[in-house]
Structure 1
């Protein structure tokens, strides 16, 4: 659990405490009565707003029929309290709804992405990121923009973790690769960076070519996140972002829909083994004269 951070731990504790309560057949009112507190206390635990107090944790786990898990949960809550999310130094410029995503991405064991408009942040070069972010919104200062670019580059450090780097599978629409964000030189360097990423054993990239025709994925992007075995029972998360907010889906039916869409796109896209050749050919076609 070395890569897991306080945000990811709090989320898992919340999900698991809710799952255990429901499996035991209790509602929030009954759980709150057992610890002698307001129902809002249980709600705050189950939405990851607050960590459970040690004494409440003991009583609740016994009430849910799993007293043997108390030590494990105590250790996790201590770790969440001691830990510090790495992006805290960038926090003044991060949207509240994105904080959770940063925690989940850092703690994920597998990340699958579909991107139809721009490249995923984990793959962007600095110059490409600058072009995309400058076009996406009005910044109060160049310093603010630089800070957010630094954050995006810092996120990519998970790709270099020596022991538990996540497995990445990315599906990119061909239009993303042809759109000259930042101009020809920026895109040439960006395509070369993608070629280098295809050489990593933990990264698979597929291009969804124009010739694939209609694909039925109307969202501009979505990310499927799966977590390490230590977080047993975690259903995973789908993250979808638009201009106003980030949306998180964790219901079973929603997860199935997005996973099915991903699998359909996998079948339509170029095989990962041919991605490198596709990217190199595209780079020569567009940017070499």
Structure 2
């Protein structure tokens, strides 16, 4: 298996349940903010009532719930007990402490050209997931892209980008691959790709051939499953665009997780169970239609021979 070089420290810490949990401050602060909102609303408590419980202001509660500011430890403990979740106090406090003592792995790429603001949140959420599921209609997923393939995709998507900025984006993609797949955390990754992803010559025959060979290597990893939806199945109704499903470790108690969708105009994060459920149903249908892993490998090998 070809793996890129390690960049910096691995942003994970072992929980008391033996799971690997991201210490990305961006992801953890956002999660704490979202959970405080969910717990308050689930119990029918207003921001004014929450503010009174901590002898603070409504504005402070608002800051907590959008992640603009973290509650102090006593404020956090008081809110959780007021929201009927005293059993979660130790866990939340440990996450708060972790978020304050760590740094995001992508910090050295933090420039507008290499790392758009929206991508920072995605990278944090992704590193927090213990299961990553994705559907791609015409490209090999970024997590499995070779350096040459990534360069071709980035060049095609932003042809006016300066060479040094393109190279920096490629380096970011390679670092992301290492952080998610090569850090020892080993999340379960289940990717379904359209057969079109195998056929398009992104970067030319040599680049595509190298990429397909790399896919076969990735598919040998015990925590990774790459399956292909063949042309004869057609595109399923309502499943025409790419998306990702990110599921968190059990101790986060986050039901269906997050659905992530990116297009030319915006990126969207769906986290309400009712919004995530259609994506989950679509992915389940794709799993039924896609080739099994061994048959997918056979199709990848045939495409590889045709391109060679």
**2:110 match: secondary structure:** helix
- For residues 60-98 of structure 1, the C-alpha deviation after alignment (integer angstroms, 9 at most, x for no partner) is 123223345333322221110111000011111211111
The residue that corresponds to 1:45 in the other structure is 64
TM-score (norm 1): 0.93
The residue that corresponds to 1:215 in the other structure is 236
**1:112 match: secondary structure:** strand
Whole-Å separation in 1 of the counterparts to 2:165 and 2:65: 34
- For residues 162-220 of structure 1, the C-alpha deviation after alignment (integer angstroms, 9 at most, x for no partner) is 3x311111110111211100000000000000011111111111111111124124443
- For residues 221-246 of structure 1, the C-alpha deviation after alignment (integer angstroms, 9 at most, x for no partner) is 10000011221235400000012321
Higher helix share: 1
- Cα 1:235–1:31 change in 2 (3 A) is farther
TM-score (norm 2): 0.87
- For residues 89-146 of structure 1, the C-alpha deviation after alignment (integer angstroms, 9 at most, x for no partner) is 1111211111111001111100000000221110100000000101101444211111
The residue that corresponds to 1:89 in the other structure is 108
The residue that corresponds to 2:17 in the other structure is none
The residue that corresponds to 1:69 in the other structure is 88
Residues 262, 268 of structure 2: 8 Å contact kept? yes
The residue that corresponds to 1:205 in the other structure is 226
Residues 204, 272 of structure 1: 8 Å contact kept? yes
The residue that corresponds to 1:12 in the other structure is 31
Residues 155, 161 of structure 2: 8 Å contact kept? no
- Cα 1:137–1:275 change in 2 (3 A) is same
Residues 197, 203 of structure 1: 8 Å contact kept? yes
Residues 139, 145 of structure 1: 8 Å contact kept? no
- Cα 1:212–1:135 change in 2 (3 A) is same
Match of 2:79 among 18, 35, 60: 60
Whole-Å separation in 2 of the counterparts to 1:115 and 1:69: 37
- Cα 1:195–1:69 change in 2 (3 A) is closer
* Count of residue pairs brought into register by the alignment: 286
Whole-Å separation in 1 of the counterparts to 2:161 and 2:218: 33
Residues 226, 293 of structure 2: 8 Å contact kept? yes
Whole-Å separation in 2 of the counterparts to 1:100 and 1:221: 18
**Structure 2: tracts of 5 or more residues without a match:** 1-11, 14-20
Whole-Å separation in 2 of the counterparts to 1:90 and 1:261: 34
The residue that corresponds to 2:48 in the other structure is 29
What CA RMSD, in Å, does the superposition of the two structures yield over aligned residues? 1.7
Which one is further off, 143-152 or 60-69?
Answer: 60-69
- Cα 1:14–1:178 change in 2 (3 A) is same
Compute the displacement of 1:55 (Å): 3.1
The residue that corresponds to 1:257 in the other structure is 278
Compute the displacement of 1:269 (Å): 1.3
**1:230 match: secondary structure:** helix
Which one is further off, 105-114 or 13-22?
Answer: 13-22
Match of 2:183 among 136, 144, 161: 161
